């Protein structure tokens, strides 16, 4: 079965550079979530989209932005990168609440290292 | 205070033994509850969903206690491959998933 696809898997950037992460959710999943996970921490919710509209916002820095496109893929744009942005970034998608259980399925993650 | 709290780890478990740990949630309106397993540097993967009074899947049993607002996970006959961090995830009924900090389980030979 198709899973959540994230790219790139690994990314190395310098401070103050920009980075873009991409996420392709499971087909027909209507909600996409972005999470940031630092070493030894649980995933921290950044932002989510439902049917291409932002549905919720968590602890996403102002330097970050995200959007969901017409084909339902999502991109997380990070600017003015800081050392503290080094983390695993997970994208997850979930099923339509009206169609069944709302279960999160995660992508393999994008590991960002800021030098 | 986090909305979802988990037993601190690590739980060091001899191979073949049973281990159980809990997760408490603060939002009484929460409807769906999940246990995810996360291996180091990997994505969380769904282990079990817990919808009503609990469910069992092989060596894993999850229980839900709505009155006391907690769920539990029990692992019987622990295997070395069960070593991981177990994340409790709660759907707060508004479509927002709340995560616990995770419970680390280390199964030793």
What pLDDT score was predicted for residue A99? 58
Q: Please, are residues A90 and A97 in contact by the beta-carbon 8 Å criterion?
A: no
Q: Is B51's CB within 8 Å of A31's CB?
A: no
What pLDDT score was predicted for residue B7? 86
Each of the 115 residues of chain A gets a pLDDT tens digit; together they read 679 999 999 999 999 999 999 999 988 788 899 999 998 888 999 999 988 899 889 989 999 999 999 999 999 999 999 999 999 999 999 875 555 667 899 999 999 999 9
- Full DSSP string of B27-44: -TT--EEEEEEE-TTS--
What pLDDT score was predicted for residue A100? 63
Q: Is B102's CB within 8 Å of A42's CB?
A: yes
Mean pLDDT throughout B4-21?
94
Q: Scanning every residue of chain B, which has its alpha carbon at the shortest distance from the alpha carbon of A30? A: B95
> What would you report as the CA-atom Rg of chain B, rounded to the nearest whole angstrom?
13
What pLDDT score was predicted for residue A111? 97
What pLDDT score was predicted for residue B96? 81
- How many interchain CB pairs under 8 A, A with B? 50
Structure tokens at B88: 């409790």
How close is the nearest chain A Cα to the Cα of B41, in Å? 8
Nearest CB to A101 within list B32, B45, B99:
B32
pLDDT tens digits along B32-87: 899 999 999 899 999 999 977 789 999 999 999 999 999 999 999 999 999 999 99
Task: Write out chain A residues lying below 8 Å of B43, CB-based.
Answer: 90, 106-109
Q: How far, in Å, CA of B47 to CA of B59, rounded?
A: 11
Q: Please, are residues B34 and B50 in contact by the beta-carbon 8 Å criterion?
A: yes
What pLDDT score was predicted for residue B8? 78
For chain B, list residues whose CB is within 8 angstroms of any CB belonging to chain A. Answer: 32, 34, 36, 41-46, 49, 51, 87, 89, 91, 95-97, 99-102
Residue B39: closest CA among B96, B85, B91: B85
What pLDDT score was predicted for residue A98? 54
What pLDDT score was predicted for residue B86? 97
pLDDT tens digits along A56-67: 899 899 999 999
A 10 A CB-CB count for A18 gives 11
Testing the interface with A: which of B95, B102, B104 to mutate, by most A Cβ within 10 A? Answer: B95
Testing the interface with A: which of B51, B88, B97, B102 to mutate, by most A Cβ within 10 A? Answer: B97
Q: Is B101's CB within 8 Å of A90's CB?
A: no
């Amino acid at each position: 079965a198709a899973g959540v696809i994230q790219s790139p898997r690994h990314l190395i950037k310098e401070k103050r550079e920009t980075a873009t992460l991409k996420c392709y959710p499971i087909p027909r999943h209507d909600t996409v979530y972005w999470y940031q996970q630092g070493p030894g921490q649980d995933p921290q919710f950044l932002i989510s989209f439902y049917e291409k509209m932002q549905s919720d916002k968590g602890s996403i820095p102002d330097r970050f932005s995200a959007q969901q496109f017409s084909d339902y893929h999502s991109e997380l744009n990070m600017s003015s990168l800081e050392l503290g942005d080094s983390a695993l970034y997970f994208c997850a998608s979930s099923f339509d609440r009206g169609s069944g259980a709302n279960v999160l399925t995660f992508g393999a993650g994008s590991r960002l290292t800021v030098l | 205070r986090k909305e979802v709290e988990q037993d601190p780890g690590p739980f060091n478990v001899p191979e073949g033994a049973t281990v159980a740990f809990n997760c408490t949630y603060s939002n009484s309106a929460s409807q769906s509850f999940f246990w995810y397993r996360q291996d180091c540097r990997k994505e969380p993967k769904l282990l079990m969903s817990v919808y009503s009074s609990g469910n069992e899947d092989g060596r894993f049993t999850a229980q839900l206690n709505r009155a006391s607002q907690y769920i539990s996970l029990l692992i019987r006959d622990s295997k070395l491959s069960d070593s991981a961090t177990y994340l409790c995830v709660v759907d707060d009924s508004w479509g927002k998933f709340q995560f616990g900090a995770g419970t680390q389980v280390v199964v030793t030979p």
